[in-house]
A and B are shown apart, each in its own frame.
Chain A
Amino acid sequence: MSKRKAAHSDKMATAEKVPQNDYTIGLVDPVKDYQKLIETRVQVDEIVDDDVTKENFDRTAASARDVIWRLIFDEDGTSQSNTEKASQLLEEYRGDACFYDPMPYNEWIVKLRDEVLKRELLDFWRDVLVKKQLGPCWSRDCDLFDSDDTPPLEFYAHAGCTAPFAASLKVRAAQEEQALQNQDEAAVSTTPGELSADDAAARSGEFEAALTKENPLEEYRSLMKRFVLAKVIVPDSVHQASVNKIAAAAREIIWKLLFDGTPSAEDQNKAAELLQEYKGDAGFYGPDDYNDWIFKLRDEVLTKELLDFWREKMVKMELGPSCARDSDYYDYEDPLPLEFYEKAGCKAPFEATFNDD
């Protein structure tokens, strides 16, 4: 940490290559020299031994302190521009000191202040050190401190000045006292949730699953929502049984809607709507039952000659067996159920493009 001659450092400000051991900061553009040292020796993205980084920062910091001191207190050059340079470098160095190593800064800045006051550089004291809060690093600007540490109020209490943050600390102290009082009174309630009747039924699997011809789709959805999509943890076997129970109810009411006498157009619509919803759920919960039963439904539809239902609903709405087109139970290697649709002059509403590659 030897002091360096000004003539030497002036040259370094413009030099391209800086020797490895040289931490010179010139007087021409000190901030730039300083930043270059930080960038190349301290803020290095590669993994470097922390002792090396610390040593590099300490040497850069020592050099910065040296130059700041000379810019302020040496009588060379115009004071105006040197003071400006010193203030910029001080600000920059302090920012890094807060992160890397605040203690040397905190000790040195007291000496700098004393020298500033001794030489009665009161503008610099008020406008730079006080106003820009360039005193000791503390919890306001540095993660090496926290609110338990003593704020550096005293540092600023000279030559008629006070710390710019003095007022906020007072407010804060008052608030903390208040908060401590409040804390005793405040108790957060955590009411334990009661298990609702639906959740209890979802957990036990004990519920009635009957659908009516009036509104089967909505009834189906409501059953699924209450007993299958419930947000309680249900054992898999109970869950599966509940799904099956509701699926059986869906199949039963579809069968009734279509085959209790001749179905009205309205009943056919209801049956198709529910069938589509049920098929969607089956594709998620397990399509095997659906894929067996849908053949029986198709055969009965054709026997009863419900050809509109066959063409407009089952074929057009693609209500045949579940496959890779609608269910994650399958992938492209599984054969598509083309044959299912090849009845009464119809064809599947999709092509076997899946197997092309």
Chain B
Amino acid sequence: MNGPRVGGVLALGATALGAFYLGTHVERERRHDGSTSGLPRLPGLPTFGTVSAASLIPAQESNVSLAATPSRIGQIMKYGFPGLDHVRSHSDYVLSYDRRNRVPHWVFEHLTAESVAKNDAVDRSKCDFKQDESIHPFFRSQNTDYRRSGYDRGHMAAAGNHRLHQKHCDETFYLSNMAPQVGQGFNRDAWNTLEAHVRRLTKTYSNVYVCTGPLYLPHKEDDGKTYVKYEVIGSNTVAVPTHFYKVIVSESTDHKLHMESYVMPNQVISNDTPISVFQVPPESVERSAGLLFFDQINRKQLATINGKKV
């Protein structure tokens, strides 16, 4: 067991450096004057009529619904859609599918203490990874793409976040909710730690909203030029993202909003790396992803970002 350990330690340096580079680089390039607020909001974006940021959702309210009802989608998407490409609504999460890369652009979830609590009626071992037949066959990823690829079928909307009903959990096993993730040292470990951290936030906050998705970040090569490079696996050429992000907003009981934002490299990360190493400014994720997260919230309204007072 010495080999993986050494690799893990090496990866720690690389990932910390990568996260630092992403942070500083994007930070350097960001608009210094906050002109974001000066950009006019585009009118007429098609939004679900029922989606509104009108009110806080009481944590104790039961949200168990087995169909993708407008009211549930409205709750989940309360703070805005990051994008509108191929949006699919499941009973307890919303997904935008990237047909070119055969993985999601993003998934959005709304968690409460109740929805992530252990539930004897929900058994994850009963879930099967299955192709999403609502996706056109050209753009569908399949189990065969992942088998022996060296990558896990990595959940974007985590199974452990949806424990109100077995069906909620089952629906996270659609392959449209997967992206190829490094298994040991990432999906089953460090990334899982971040997922657990997000679930733990429901102990402090009445509502937790989280957007999760892949990134394909550029890196500089020896010729001084910058390239985006990523593997594609299987006969359906499923993209292997270079990084994944989570942008999280938590509502406290006194109606204050707290944002956290993480970018983790899709590689072996040592178990002793604290996840705070991977915190980055939310706008750096937005620039890299080509999406805006929680754009119904003015960043100045937030009480904290990554634990720091705004």
Contact = CB atoms under 8 A, between A and B. Distances in A.
A327 B153 CA distance: 48
A176 interface: yes
A167 B4 CA distance: 14
B29 A183 contact: no
Contacts of A146: 187-189, 192
A50 B131 contact: yes
B196 interface: yes
A99 interface: yes
B13 interface: no
A153 interface: no
A188 to B, nearest CB: 4
Interface in A46-87: 47, 50, 53-54
A172 interface: yes
Contacts of A44: 144
Interface stretch (A192-200, A243-251, A259-267, A330-338): A192-200
A103 B1 contact: no
A193 B29 CA distance: 10
Contacts of A155: none
Given A148-B160, A193-B30, A43 B271 contact: no
Contacts of A269: none
A140 interface: yes
A182 B271 CA distance: 13
Interface in A193-214: 193-196, 199, 203
B187 A143 contact: yes
B90 interface: no
Nearest to A191: B27
A258 B50 CA distance: 71
Interface residues of B, number: 51
A47 B142 CA distance: 8
Nearest to B151: A143
A6 B235 CA distance: 37
B31 A233 contact: yes
A186 B188 contact: no
Dominant secondary structure of chain B at its interface with chain A: mixed
A20 B129 CA distance: 25
B305 A175 contact: no
Nearest to B236: A45
Nearest to A99: B147
Contacts of B307: 187-188
A312 to B, nearest CB: 34
B125 interface: yes
A193 B276 contact: no
A147 B32 contact: no
B144 A43 contact: yes
Contact of B147 (A43, A144, A172, A231): A43
B187 A182 contact: no
B306 A143 contact: no
Interface residues of A, number: 43
Contacts of B131: 47, 50
Contacts of B184: 139-140
B49 interface: no
B290 interface: no
Contact of A143 (B28, B188, B281): B188
A148 B29 contact: no
Nearest to B307: A187
A121 interface: no
A232 B31 contact: yes
B274 interface: yes
Given A47-B142, A178-B272, A188-B306, A145 B188 contact: yes
Given A50-B130, A50-B131, A232-B32, A190 B23 contact: yes
Contacts of A178: 272
A159 interface: no
A179 interface: yes
A251 B172 CA distance: 65
Contacts of A187: 276, 306-308
Interface in B118-156: 125, 128-131, 137, 140, 142-144, 146-148, 152-154
A147 B183 contact: no
A168 interface: yes
B273 interface: yes
A139 B182 CA distance: 12
Given A43-B144, A176-B271, A178-B272, A147 B193 contact: yes
Contact of B308 (A140, A164, A189, A232): A189
B142 A183 contact: no
A161 B25 CA distance: 52
B277 interface: yes
Given A143-B154, A144-B125, A193-B30, A167 B271 contact: no
A147 B189 CA distance: 6
Nearest to A50: B130
B306 A190 contact: yes
B223 interface: no
A175 to B, nearest CB: 4
Contacts of B29: 231
Interface of A: 43-45, 47, 50, 53-54, 99-100, 103, 139-140, 143-148, 164-165, 167-168, 172, 175-176, 178-179, 182-183, 186-190, 193-196, 199, 203, 231-233
16 contacts: A45-B235, A53-B143, A139-B188, A143-B153, A143-B183, A143-B187, A143-B188, A146-B189, A147-B189, A148-B196, A172-B271, A176-B271, A179-B273, A188-B279, A193-B30, A195-B32
Kindly list the 8 A-B residue pairs having the minimum CB-CB distance in the complex, ordered from nearest: A143-B152, A139-B188, A195-B32, A175-B272, A146-B192, A50-B130, A186-B276, A188-B279
Interface of B: 1, 5, 23, 27-33, 35, 125, 128-131, 137, 140, 142-144, 146-148, 152-154, 160, 183-184, 187-189, 192-193, 196, 235, 271-277, 279-281, 305-308
Given A190-B27, A193-B27, A232-B32, 13 more contacts: A43-B144, A44-B144, A50-B131, A139-B184, A146-B188, A147-B193, A164-B1, A175-B271, A175-B272, A179-B273, A183-B274, A186-B276, A189-B308
